[in-house]
Amino acid sequence: MSPLSAADIYEHPEFDGVIWKVKPALEGKATVAAGRRGGPLQLAYEIHGEGPTRLVWIIGLGGWMSAWQRQIKDFGHSQNTNRGQSSKYTNLIFDPRGMGKSDKPLTRYSTSEMAKDTLELIDHVGWTRTRQLHVIGSSMGGMIAQELACIVPERIASLTLLASAPRIFNTIGWVQNLRDRINLLYVQCRRLNFGTDGVTRIPKEIDTQVEDTKQRLFSSEWLNEPDSEGHFPTNGDRFKAYELKKRQDPEGYTRKGFLMQALAAGWHNVSPRQLRNLSEQVGGERIQVIHGTADRMLPFPLGETLAKELGQVTFIVVDGRSHALQWEWRRGLTKAVAALVEKAEIMTTG
């Protein structure tokens, strides 16, 4: 089956609903980075759920908080009764600096500065107790999560590092992938041109660029499967619709923000000693590293190295899956996070 074209997707009846309208319990903006590089700036955030167990979800390069919508539904809504009296989790999601509804200062970004942003946001919402934070970070979000855990190891209840790396070393694919993502961003920054005749002009490069991105973020097997949410012909068509929906926002996804984040990811470097100290202070039994063997964005050896340098932690190898595991490994991720969170809560409460 041939993938839907951009023109077909814009006309699809489900296009407007591809970013789910999941109502948060609370949403707002927090001021962070006062007196630091690029600050002060505003981070947009949402809180989902009303339970006692606190989950912090940190998205990666070029991502919006909506990239976690499946996990938010699983952990912030499906576990709740209508009144929320039996809810188990409270979830914090946010747009990192440079993306979505958050500010996009033109300065050098770093994963350590973005970790400080995250910590100040967590303080803003009042999650300040020891061993209270269950942190899940994907890709660059996992890099930020490493830095966060280095700052406040005593506040980390559990740490899930998803498709991430301790640093970028010379593996096949990273430089090429980053260059292609930058090329993709160039096209994405060419916004749709709505003419006076009401006809939408779609840059001809969009189909090629988004198809290439799909192949780099997902396994071919998953892309070609029927849409797991229904409505679109395939999972790949749904992801393409999500990407096209993002680029309709002229302020949310910008070349400037992406490039600043890309520099942060490229310069990320947590040393083996730092990782071993992190593991000792947080507790290796509270940490898991998850990586797909078919990851084309951050190849598998990066995740393997991260797990090895952390030491005695859980390393989950997802055979045949690629980079965006929150999409293509949704059920597995839900089980893995829930299991570690439950174990960590038992350890904390005794």
For β-strands 133-138 and 156-162, DSSP reports them as parallel
Q: Apex CA 264: angle with CA 261 and CA 268, to 5°?
A: 145
The pLDDT of residue 254 is: 87
The pLDDT of residue 339 is: 98
Closest-CA residue to 292 (of 315, 269, 275): 315
pLDDT tens-digit readout, 65-77: 999 999 999 999 8
Reported as half-sphere exposure (CB side, CA atoms, 13 A), residue 79 has a value of 21
pLDDT tens-digit readout, 121-149: 999 999 999 999 999 999 999 999 999 99
pTM value? 0.91
- Residues near 197 by beta carbon (within 8 Å), at least 6 away in sequence: none
The pLDDT of residue 161 is: 98
The pLDDT of residue 87 is: 84
More confident residue, 327 or 255: 327
The mean pLDDT value for 50-70 works out to: 96
Q: Apex CA 281: angle with CA 290 and CA 168, to 5°?
A: 45
pLDDT tens-digit readout, 331-345: 999 999 999 999 999
> In CATH, what is the architecture of 21-171+264-349?
3-Layer(aba) Sandwich (3.40)
Using CB atoms within 10 A of its CB, is residue 198 exposed (0-12), middle (13-18) or buried (19+)?
A: exposed
CA distances from 270 to 137, 169, 256, 273 (A): 15, 12, 25, 8
Residue 237 has pLDDT above 70, yes or no: yes
Helices (H), 202-251: 206-217, 220-224, 235-246
pLDDT tens-digit readout, 191-228: 444 344 444 455 667 888 888 889 889 999 999 999 99
Average pLDDT value for the chain: 89
What stretch(es) of the chain map to CATH 3.40.50.1820? 21-171+264-349
Q: How confident is the model at residue 110 (pLDDT cuts 50, 70, 90)?
A: very high
Q: How confident is the model at residue 2 (pLDDT cuts 50, 70, 90)?
A: confident
Q: Apex CA 138: angle with CA 301 and CA 159, to 5°?
A: 90
CA distances from 289 to 165, 284, 333, 340 (A): 10, 11, 11, 11
Q: Which residue has the tokens 């942060």?
A: 264
Of 20-34, 120-134, 245-259, 266-280, minimum mean pLDDT range = 245-259
The mean pLDDT value for 142-163 works out to: 98
Residue 10 token pair: 């814009």
The pLDDT of residue 248 is: 82
Q: Which residue has the tokens 């002229």?
A: 250
